[in-house]
Amino acid sequence: SKAVSLLGLMHYMKGLRLITFLETTTATSDENVTVTDTEFSNVPVRLYLPRRAPDGLRRAMVYFHGGGWCLGDAGMKSYDLMSQRISNELNAVVVSVNYRLAPEHRFPIPFEDVYSVTKFFLQSEVLSQYGVDPARVCVAGDSAGGNLAAAVAQQLLEDPEVKTKLKAQILLYPALQALDLDLPSYRDNANKPILTKPLMISFWSEYFTSDPSLKEAMASNRHIPAESAHLFQFVNWSHLLPEEMRRAHAYSGPTYGSAGLVRRFPGLLDPRAAPLLAGDARLRRLPRTYILTCEHDVLRDDGAMYAQRLRAAGVRVTHDHAQDAFHAALMFILRPLDLAVGHRLFNRYVDWVNENV
């Protein structure tokens, strides 16, 4: 990807998408689940419907894939397998959303796509059409999809047109803020696979703009102006992280940058892009929450801080921290990249959904 980008042949993120294309499979039903590609609210989705007769109304999950808002597809083999298993094992309707991607479609378009699908699905007539219990619907996502799931759950609280309340939100190693990109997890895991610090900074900057000045400022953690200092309370890891995650790191407070970047790219401070920046009054109204974090992951501290803030707001939270795992571990459940850690974490996540949705 770097080579074709330097040669001017293709955008770096479009080069990375070749992974997506190689991993994408067609919608294929089996004896347990009917799988179809369709559209909800003019947004492509892959729909999974259990074949076995329901014992009453079914639960449902609206899922958003990861990929830094620039990559990924609901039809990737790992996502397809996970959705099929959840649909079959939990007798659940699964709506996996193919939202539009950056750099062609920057913030807020990916958020607007997933929000419109969720809002459409939560209509009583749509839930009834698919035999879904309106009291048993959750949103879920991994990485950038976890960001979108958290943002959707928050936005639904403010939408008077939506009468159905979410039962839960499931956030798998989510990206939740771009305010402080020098957290202990960014320091500890800067060059570890699958997600390095430079790549995560590239994803964040591409979500908002093609202007390289934002990426450069993010790389030095000098992209937030002093007039936004009040927001750093929401990412102050000196008290939001457990001691074992802070380790020997010393908190020195933010280093401020020019106000021009935030004025040009206000999404940086928008809770629809950075759900960790929402106030406590909003957080306390959120549904029960499952957050998976992985020790060897730059995004570890985003999830851990959100878990702490939600608990402090009175939300029922399960923070499942995997000491031996890395970012995107759940994707490694298929040969030849079939890892025990991926299966273990996936099973724990499915068990939580089974017990709480």
133 belongs to the catalytic site: no
Structure tokens at 322: 């995997």
> Which of 78, 83, 143, 185 is flagged as catalytic?
143
The residue that leads in pLDDT, 8 or 153, is 153
List the domain boundaries for the chain: 1-356
pLDDT in tens, 303-353: 999 999 999 999 999 999 999 999 999 999 998 889 999 999 999 999 999
Give dist(CA 170, CA 89) in Å, integer.
Answer: 17
Residue 38 has pLDDT above 80, yes or no: yes
Query: In which band, very low, low, confident or very high, does the pLDDT at 16 lie, cut at 50, 70 and 90?
Result: confident
Look over the chain and give the mean of its residue pLDDT values, rounded to a whole number.
95
> Which of 73, 297, 301, 302 is flagged as catalytic?
297
DSSP secondary structure letters along 116-162: HHHHHHTSHHHHHHTTEEEEEEEEEEETHHHHHHHHHHHHHTT-TT-
CATH of domain 1-356: 3.40.50.1820
User: Which pLDDT score, from 0 to 100, does residue 247 have?
Assistant: 82
Nearest-CA neighbor of 302 among 182, 158, 138? 182
220 belongs to the catalytic site: no
Prediction pTM value = 0.96
Residue 133 has pLDDT above 70, yes or no: yes
Residue 69 has pLDDT above 60, yes or no: yes
327 belongs to the catalytic site: yes
Region 104-116: mean pLDDT is 98
User: Which pLDDT score, from 0 to 100, does residue 340 have?
Assistant: 97
Virtual torsion, Cα 87, 105, 275, 66, nearest 10 deg = 40
User: Which pLDDT score, from 0 to 100, does residue 248 have?
Assistant: 84
Query: In which band, very low, low, confident or very high, does the pLDDT at 120 lie, cut at 50, 70 and 90?
Result: very high
Does residue 85 come out as left (phi exceeding 0), alpha (psi in the -120 to 50 range) or beta? alpha
User: Which pLDDT score, from 0 to 100, does residue 291 have?
Assistant: 99
Residue 7 has pLDDT above 50, yes or no: no
CA distance readout (Å), 354 to 46, 131, 145: 21, 18, 21
User: Which pLDDT score, from 0 to 100, does residue 11 have?
Assistant: 63
